[in-house]
Amino acid sequence: MTTIRENLEKWEEVYLSPYASLSKNSLGRLRDEEPCDIRPVFQRDRDRILHCKAFRRLKDKTQVFLAPQGDHYRTRLTHTLEVSQNARTIAKALRLNEDLVEAIALGHDLGHTPFGHAGERALNKVCPYGFEHSEQSVRCVDILEKDGQGLNLTFEVRDGIRNHQTKGNPATLEGKIVRLSDKIAYIHHDCDDAIRAGILREEDIPKQVQEVAGRTTGERLDHFIHDIVTNSFGKNDICMSPPVEDAMKKLRSFMFERVYTNQQAKSEEGKAELLVETLYDYYLHHIDKISGELLVLMERGEAKERICCDYIGAMTDRFAIAQYEEIYIPKCWTVK
């Protein structure tokens, strides 16, 4: 008797686009394991990511605004969910593998540091091996999760996570969808948050962008996604029309100029970088203070500099600040 998983795999063969990544054709995992009788491999990967500790920590990691005072600003977790939603919408419309795009999207930022790109810059500066969040995300799923066992994900998911940045070149169309969806998501929601914070006004958005893509953040998001679907349908590629792609690039450049390098929005980033650099130096010289499951990796031959990055990179914003205060801020003496 065929299993539910096998029936779902047959459904993929019949329904999905000839350019889709079929679950049964996956290049496999780092370690062989028995297949699930219910879930195809990419769905299983999605579930593993959703239940891992690194995913839960994203809720208290900076997206753009450092520890914002307000309930509606994005965090790294809500960014991840918006990337996933964009990617799934595109994949479903193009009849590509929705489970694969969701797994890649949910896992793409697992290795991000506290304090967003400020924390990433700090670790990249002080660690002799360098630090890049896309590679750290793969390290999370390959090694760090499950006390050093990793999640044992498929090649396609790991490839999409590694190549989700602009410079990446994913091996699957689903990975290309996530790479583009990530960019669309942060441009959209960072613009929305900047308007909420009073750093931008809608009328500040370049007229060329508004005329092509829309006059509100919601209109632009809708237009970008529709354009990708329209221009990619029936093709072995994920692409945008030249005018819309140009508008997106102009909006991204505008955001770098007015938000991502804005002194008001980024006023605390120098402090955050110094905090991360200081913690790195401390743990490098007090390696015994690091979590035991990471110290086990040193026994396997991992360099202590890499382990320090693993420990600090996994911290949430609040935990990093609390550790700094515990180590460096004197406490008032009281009579007991």
Per residue in 176-195, pLDDT (tens digit) is: 999 999 999 999 999 999 99
Q: How far is CA 119 from CA 263, 267, 284, in A?
A: 17, 14, 17
% of the chain with per-residue pLDDT over 70? 99
- Domain membership of residue 257 (yes or no) is yes
Q: Is 194 helix (H, G, I), strand (E, B) or coil?
A: helix
Mean pLDDT (whole number) for 105-119:
97
- The reported pLDDT for the residue numbered 65 is 77
DSSP H/E element including 304: helix 304-314
* pLDDT classification of 262: cutoffs 50, 70, 90: confident
Question: Which phi and psi (to 5°) does residue 284 adopt?
Answer: -65, -35
- Domain membership of residue 334 (yes or no) is no
Spell out the alpha helix ranges (H) of the chain. 4-15, 41-50, 53-57, 76-94, 98-107, 116-126, 133-139, 145-148, 155-162, 173-196, 207-213, 217-232, 242-255, 269-285, 292-299, 304-314, 317-328
- The reported pLDDT for the residue numbered 336 is 67
- Domain with residue 276: its CATH number is 1.10.3210.10
pTM score over 0.85: yes
- Domain membership of residue 224 (yes or no) is yes
Please give the structure tokens belonging to residue 42. Answer: 């990419």
Mean pLDDT (whole number) for 245-274:
90
- The reported pLDDT for the residue numbered 192 is 94
**Does 264 score more than 90 pLDDT?**
no
Domain holding 246, by residue range, is: 4-328
DSSP state of 331: P
Long-range contacts of range 244-247, CB-CB < 8 Å, 24 or more positions apart? 244/212, 244/213, 246/212, 247/208, 247/209, 247/212, 247/213
- The reported pLDDT for the residue numbered 265 is 66
- Domain membership of residue 333 (yes or no) is no
- Domain membership of residue 149 (yes or no) is yes
Determine the Cα–Cα distance for residues 9 and 6; give it in Å rounded to an integer: 5
- Domain membership of residue 336 (yes or no) is no
- The reported pLDDT for the residue numbered 270 is 92
- Of 46-55, 273-282, 294-303, least confident by mean pLDDT is 294-303
Determine the Cα–Cα distance for residues 203 and 243; give it in Å rounded to an integer: 21
Mean pLDDT (whole number) for 66-81:
87
Q: How many domains does the chain have?
A: 1
- Domain membership of residue 173 (yes or no) is yes
Please give the structure tokens belonging to residue 297. Answer: 């990796």
- Domain membership of residue 47 (yes or no) is yes
**Does 119 score more than 80 pLDDT?**
yes
Mean pLDDT (whole number) for 198-212:
95
Longest CA–CA span in the chain (Å) reads 75
Mean pLDDT (whole number) for 209-217:
96
- The reported pLDDT for the residue numbered 66 is 76
Buried b (16+ CB within 10 A) or exposed e, 10-39: eebeeebbebbbbbeebeebeeeeebeeeb
